[in-house]
Structure 1
């Protein structure tokens, strides 16, 4: 009997809910995902082990020969033994450890099992399970850990003979979303809402055998969505070469598990600070990819580069790494067909100083293809409105899109949900339609379909230059002007104006002081 999506999701949530007495919902993922993946590996290994036993006569084989045949023809990873040579020796599998659930030291056995699996499969599972601090009795009591494992054991067997990877991957996604919906900021830091991910992927359109890169990959959702879209369109999603970098080791582990659960094995997820230590290199420079997509942390304080070839147009200020992430993505675009999509707050469109210099360079080099304004309150960790910026490698824009940028206002296209606004499938389709539209000599879409069409306009670079390289959507689409006066944007504008006023006052006071005029309050 086939396992339904609803059944496995319900069982997994029951297991997660056992943690409510021990920790906040924001911490559930650190426990549930390693346990879930361990059960998946164990169920899969035992399923193939049984196939091996059923299909082979072991009477004439030595232990070494049997082992060689099993791992050559049936198994794709190892589940080793722990405590070898002792009375406690047992396989590091879910079922083996579950059988000891009433014995003291459960957390230690779980930790030893996960570490043994990592060690036995260094190419696949190195550092996969993260820090595993939850296996300590001081963090999670053995009683609660045992309850979680018993509840999770009531889920159906997680192997390909019992459920598809679509069901398994869907269950993993369900938990990611459930944790994010319930816990807000902390989980939202590594989970981008699926509809935003789908929109970016639809616009960038990964093709079979292309390389896809997310420099701030979080839980890996953008990489998985790229493969899913390709598959949905009749392509071969498994042919994509997926690459991700994530600063938080435990979150990188979540991404790796997520990819495996979706049956995507051509991937590399590295740990490290992308701006400080980019892990994907080639010939001394950052590696280049066909598709780059990201939802980096907004307005991140960082240590600016002193000398880095990625810093086209200048170096982003210490107060905000937004444009530094863009510069990294631009440097990572393949020169022949590279394209990039990034979600950022509206401040990147108009802030002055060093950011304005970088923005100028991106426009002068004709790298920016589109600016898409999104609604406010789409994300779990911020209510501010955001925008998608789309870039193309220099000289690769379609002729009709050269020497200008497309502006699309989707700020009022959303449906209110419990904790945030969402984009519907129809909203996503309308944005994609506007993105692919043709435009007349005034920059107006020639095929806009009446009242429901999104406001969009193709703006020549000369007009943007005349506006001081300001990309504020309201400058180019008048309907967007009022909608953009949200609190977050107004605060950004106020802070910039205040800083400029303070610098001007300081210069004035110095001039007056030099002239011998005193008496002004500083």
Structure 2
């Protein structure tokens, strides 16, 4: 057997072993969920996994650490609840609020009576894992599902791989995620560069998250994988411009964020149409108060370095809305030649909602240049219609993008840029009806600067008349109209406040 075959065989064995441990861990978590909040139980599992892989106490100190907890779990008569609470209180990274009055850190869930048996099972199962990254990914997916009803999900792995591949970070880059959630896009960026250079990347990774408990999860996620990154104190990234330029910005943005303005400006009525203070991020026109979409796009564009790139998820309405403010934003982006690619993603692959979204790719330097692409794409935008590029999850109504569809999207983008790794195998880019189309900024201007991929790379007539396609289209139109109605309601309230 070749070395590659041996490696694949060992990888399959490791994956199988991780799945077995995950099944065991999930069973113990389910038992805990009957005694406590399911969300807290999911966070508890991640906290224990973090404790098992990071040092927290110097030898000889009185601060409890994982070896002590593991030894206690082996004693069937020991009480584990107080011991686990003590270890988590001293070992978890800060939430951003610092230490409490007892000298312990926040974010420690209260453990109910009767939790000793599932806690013992969790500790022993986690101790048996050799490489915790895969198990951590599965546990983060569980936590994401628990909090998805509040629209606070984490970016799925296949979507994260697509976003990072579209932005294509390189060794030495400065990278920012201004809404980093669990830190998944930072982790994927590190993996992406490491696979290409075969060494530990010299990346400068920065992340910021508004919710303190989620910021804590991001710190744990990166620490377990031994990835050096700085998660900034919890806060609103839109509160002020970024101080430093970044080569790469990645973001799974909140859609249609109402009342996004800084705390000091909220609720202030001045009788002006745009009562926001002057800001270098919007030198021509401040974004509307009713939706943060325009603010996020301009925040990201302002923070890019001279040759910087960004990939972010954005609601469909921004790409096609006829509203004057949104249309003027698209016009400015076209005038500055910032938009490189817009990809229409399938519904329900990036969160637990039917709302559709696009992946936008910005690029401040679309010239042909070394270490990037062989084709000069100034004055052009690539549109990819991946609305139906999904696969169904077995025994579920859920969908996912899947690696096959992600790779097809990235291959199309690479051919358009001229960045195929094997120069001898480079295939010139050609438009593909129903899938992709390259357009000039002049054509886009004639269409009132619309940036909706489904308008440029429309599906074939046969597919359009297919029954399932018609049903999907009607569902999407209904969701969009409901979303649009909510946005108009927010704008109307803003106007009424200013009268």
- Describe the SS at the equivalent of 2:208: strand
User: Judging changes above 3 Å, is the alpha-carbon distance between structure 1 residues 148 and 248 closer, same or farther for their aligned structure 2 residues?
Assistant: farther
Task: Provide the residue aligned with 1:215 in structure 2.
Answer: 178
User: Judging changes above 3 Å, is the alpha-carbon distance between structure 1 residues 40 and 381 closer, same or farther for their aligned structure 2 residues?
Assistant: same
CA contact (8 A) 2:434 2:457 kept: no
Task: Provide the residue aligned with 1:78 in structure 2.
Answer: 57
Aligned pairs for 1:98-113 (under 5 A) are 99=72, 106-107=81-82, 110-113=84-87
1:275 to 2:238 alignment: yes
Instruction: Give structure 2 stretches of 5+ with no counterpart.
Output: 1-9, 262-275, 419-426, 492-499
Distance 1:209 1:439 in 2: 22
Listed one character per residue, the Cα deviations across residues 274-304 of structure 1 (whole Å, up to 9, x for unaligned) are 11256xx5xxxx3211111110111111243
Runs of 4+ in 1 over 6 A off after TM superposition: 100-105, 121-130, 497-500
Aligned pairs for 1:344-383 (under 5 A) are 344-351=314-321, 352-383=323-354
Listed one character per residue, the Cα deviations across residues 302-351 of structure 1 (whole Å, up to 9, x for unaligned) are 2434322112552332222122111111111111x210000112111122
CA contact (8 A) 1:414 1:424 kept: yes
Task: Provide the residue aligned with 1:155 in structure 2.
Answer: 125
Q: How far does residue 366 in structure 1 lie from its aligned partner after superposition?
A: 0.6
CA contact (8 A) 2:256 2:487 kept: no
Indicate which of 458, 466, 479 corresponds to 2:438: 458
Task: Provide the residue aligned with 1:406 in structure 2.
Answer: 382
Provide TM-score, normalisation by structure 2: 0.76
User: Judging changes above 3 Å, is the alpha-carbon distance between structure 1 residues 458 and 37 closer, same or farther for their aligned structure 2 residues?
Assistant: same
Indicate which of 259, 284, 294 corresponds to 1:323: 294
- Describe the SS at the equivalent of 1:246: coil
Provide TM-score, normalisation by structure 1: 0.73
- Describe the SS at the equivalent of 1:372: strand
CA contact (8 A) 1:333 1:339 kept: yes
Q: How far does residue 35 in structure 1 lie from its aligned partner after superposition?
A: 2.3
Distance 1:348 1:8 in 2: 44
Distance 2:135 2:90 in 1: 26
- Describe the SS at the equivalent of 1:359: helix
Aligned pairs for 1:133-152 (under 5 A) are 133-135=108-110, 140-144=111-115, 146-152=116-122
CA contact (8 A) 1:238 1:266 kept: no
- Describe the SS at the equivalent of 1:306: coil
1:201 to 2:164 alignment: yes
Q: How far does residue 495 in structure 1 lie from its aligned partner after superposition?
A: 7.3
Q: CA RMSD in A?
A: 3.7
Listed one character per residue, the Cα deviations across residues 237-294 of structure 1 (whole Å, up to 9, x for unaligned) are 442221100011110111111111122124334311111256xx5xxxx321111111
Indicate which of 161, 168, 190 corresponds to 2:132: 168
Indicate which of 454, 457, 466 corresponds to 1:477: 457
Task: Provide the residue aligned with 1:131 in structure 2.
Answer: 106
User: Judging changes above 3 Å, is the alpha-carbon distance between structure 1 residues 36 and 357 closer, same or farther for their aligned structure 2 residues?
Assistant: same
Task: Provide the residue aligned with 1:518 in structure 2.
Answer: none
User: Judging changes above 3 Å, is the alpha-carbon distance between structure 1 residues 331 and 97 closer, same or farther for their aligned structure 2 residues?
Assistant: same
Q: How far does residue 235 in structure 1 lie from its aligned partner after superposition?
A: 4.0
- Describe the SS at the equivalent of 2:138: helix
Indicate which of 22, 34, 41 corresponds to 1:28: 41
Instruction: Give structure 1 stretches of 5+ with no counterpart.
Output: 46-76, 83-89, 504-522
Indicate which of 269, 278, 288 corresponds to 2:245: 288
CA contact (8 A) 2:95 2:106 kept: no
User: Judging changes above 3 Å, is the alpha-carbon distance between structure 1 residues 494 and 176 closer, same or farther for their aligned structure 2 residues?
Assistant: closer
Structure with bigger gyration radius: 1
Distance 1:362 1:231 in 2: 32
Distance 1:26 1:419 in 2: 22
CA contact (8 A) 2:49 2:126 kept: no
1:384 to 2:355 alignment: yes
CA contact (8 A) 2:344 2:454 kept: no
Listed one character per residue, the Cα deviations across residues 140-178 of structure 1 (whole Å, up to 9, x for unaligned) are 31422x3342111222537xxx72xxx211110011123
CA contact (8 A) 1:406 1:458 kept: yes
Listed one character per residue, the Cα deviations across residues 20-57 of structure 1 (whole Å, up to 9, x for unaligned) are 2124534433322222212333xxx4xxxxxxxxxxxx
Paired residue total = 432
User: Judging changes above 3 Å, is the alpha-carbon distance between structure 1 residues 16 and 499 closer, same or farther for their aligned structure 2 residues?
Assistant: closer
Distance 1:122 1:156 in 2: 22
User: Judging changes above 3 Å, is the alpha-carbon distance between structure 1 residues 496 and 299 closer, same or farther for their aligned structure 2 residues?
Assistant: closer
